[in-house]
Chains A and B, each alone.
Chain A
């Protein structure tokens, strides 16, 4: 009853023929599989334009918020850069000081070893500058005397503290009426910008988490709609990587398109605000214009968006695959 049937010679030959493909063939097949997943996942996006657009739109808006905030920070930093980096101290001399007195004070300040350079702005120069910068030229013309004092613009040596030098001149220079160095204001501005950076990062992190959830949920729904197909592929010997791969590309596509849309939104916002801001700046005599995100920032934002899409898909697919093993009793 239990006699073992002899293996037929033909069968043995066929068994011997079963050998795996070479490494080069496997690498080629691996490349083809990635290419196939890359193209087919794009095809799935195109097949469902409405749901795809909605998903991409939600992700793009989430990404656009921190991007717009980044644009704002870039411009505030640019605007404040000159103020923040300025080390100049303005010594306003006593009104009515004679030219000789002004010159003496200038020489005395210049001879201080902590001072790198001194520039004198005479009351006449100050008045001329004032006329150019403001709309009060008519009113200024009515003044009988020039009320502006002479000003010494002092630049300390790089190793010196502007704040200490300002205090010194305020206390020790008898001809100096008033010393201006807005250290507190600059410190406050720096603190606000630091806070802005932190806020931008926090918002980006929170919205990045939102992007993960959106992509993850979209891919999860796609996985559920293809659960039978996935199950069939697994029964045919598909590895987790094989099953997961098209979904990873799908997530990356979502991230790429959402990133491009978010960058476009940020660009549109900048364009919409550029003219009003330029007009506002011009009214203050400034040539400031609103800048967009630097090129590297844009590339970084796009890469981060693709990575978020990929990661969201990876998490969703891995979660599904974890529950598809035969249970052990």
Chain B
């Protein structure tokens, strides 16, 4: 069974703008894929439907076999604990230390303190920020802040990680570092969906690519089928 399934999903906003139209695709456990398309193509809307910042107008989104439209207020936190999110603007708590930021999902889930300390130090080491637990986010560069955001998103070992333009503000070198961090996650059982308009990065990673255009899914490239000349432009 697919971890995530979009079944003819449409999203229409109150003003009448249709951000997604009849979008269908599936994502398996431990799979990594990119969602690309021009600005306003519906990439962010698609991600928001996954972690239930918004709900679909038509069609159904299934996560681990559960129709997300059936999740009520009580079930929402449980679903969100299974989906890690990385934002372009990091959304870090600027008055909290790196440790406190990364520990937040574990605190929310009621993980014991000793376990939190162990896991946070481990993940900060993995993203190259070991030893800087007490620093405040404002003392870090944008790339380092993004790494903290990634550490926070994966520290609770979610089933799925969604990242909305995670390298949008970073230089190419840092972007590659961040993408390599994402690429390591599927081996730990976490599926990854990255929304990006950075085609250079998308091509470099050689992963599955969903291409959106004006809210419609116009292409679904698999790694084996992606050739430089056929890659999304």
Contact = CB atoms under 8 A, between A and B. Distances in A.
Interface in B76-99: 76-81, 85, 91, 93
B79 to A, nearest CB: 8
A326 B91 contact: no
B10 to A, nearest CB: 9
A278 to B, nearest CB: 55
Contacts of B157: 14, 18
A5 B110 contact: no
A237 B108 contact: yes
Contact of A15 (B81, B109, B189): B189
Interface in A161-197: none
A29 B187 contact: no
A326 B187 contact: no
Contacts of A2: 220, 222
A11 B192 CA distance: 13
B7 interface: no
Interface string A231-267: 0111111111010000000000000000000000000
A237 B28 contact: no
B76 A325 contact: yes
A8 interface: yes
Interface in A287-325: 325
A9 to B, nearest CB: 10
Contacts of A234: 77, 80
Chain A interface helix/strand/loop/mixed: helix
Nearest to B157: A18
Nearest to B85: A235
Contact of B57 (A29, A233, A236, A329): A329
Interface in A186-235: 228-229, 232-235
Nearest to B224: A3
A21 B52 contact: no
Contacts of A3: 222
A210 to B, nearest CB: 31
Given A229-B93, A232-B93, A235-B53, A29 B110 contact: yes
Interface string B199-216: 000000000000000000
Interface string B48-85: 00011111110000000000010001001111110001
A272 interface: no
B173 interface: no
Given A240-B73, A325-B76, A26 B29 contact: no
Contact of B108 (A12, A229, A236, A328): A236
B93 A236 contact: no
Contact of A237 (B2, B78, B112, B115): B78
Contact of A5 (B31, B51, B57, B91): B31
Nearest to A325: B73
Range for the number of chain A residues in contact with chain B: 35 or more
B186 interface: yes
B78 A33 contact: no
A26 to B, nearest CB: 5
A229 B30 CA distance: 30
A285 to B, nearest CB: 67
A326 B189 contact: no
Nearest to B28: A4
B12 interface: yes
A12 B29 CA distance: 9
A326 B77 CA distance: 12
Contact of B189 (A14, A36, A238, A325): A14
Given A5-B31, A8-B187, A26 B110 contact: yes
B225 interface: yes
Which of B26, B54, B73, B157 is most buried by chain A, counting CB atoms within 10 A of its CB? Answer: B73
Contact of A326 (B26, B28, B53, B220): B53
A236 B80 contact: yes
Contacts of A145: none
Nearest to B104: A236
A21 B188 contact: no
Given A7-B29, A11-B30, A26-B110, A237 B80 contact: yes
A144 interface: no
Contacts of A7: 28-30
Interface in B6-63: 11-12, 26, 28-31, 51-57
Contacts of A326: 52-55, 76
A153 to B, nearest CB: 73
B105 A237 contact: yes
Given A233-B108, A235-B85, 7 more contacts: A1-B220, A21-B111, A26-B110, A36-B107, A235-B91, A325-B73, A325-B76
16 contacts: A1-B225, A7-B30, A8-B30, A11-B186, A11-B187, A11-B188, A11-B189, A18-B157, A25-B112, A232-B93, A233-B104, A235-B53, A235-B80, A235-B91, A240-B73, A242-B77
Interface of A: 1-5, 7-8, 10-15, 18, 21, 25-26, 28-30, 32-33, 36, 228-229, 232-240, 242, 325-329
Question: Which 3 pairs, one residue from A and one from B, show the smallest C-beta to C-beta distance?
Answer: A237-B81, A14-B189, A29-B110
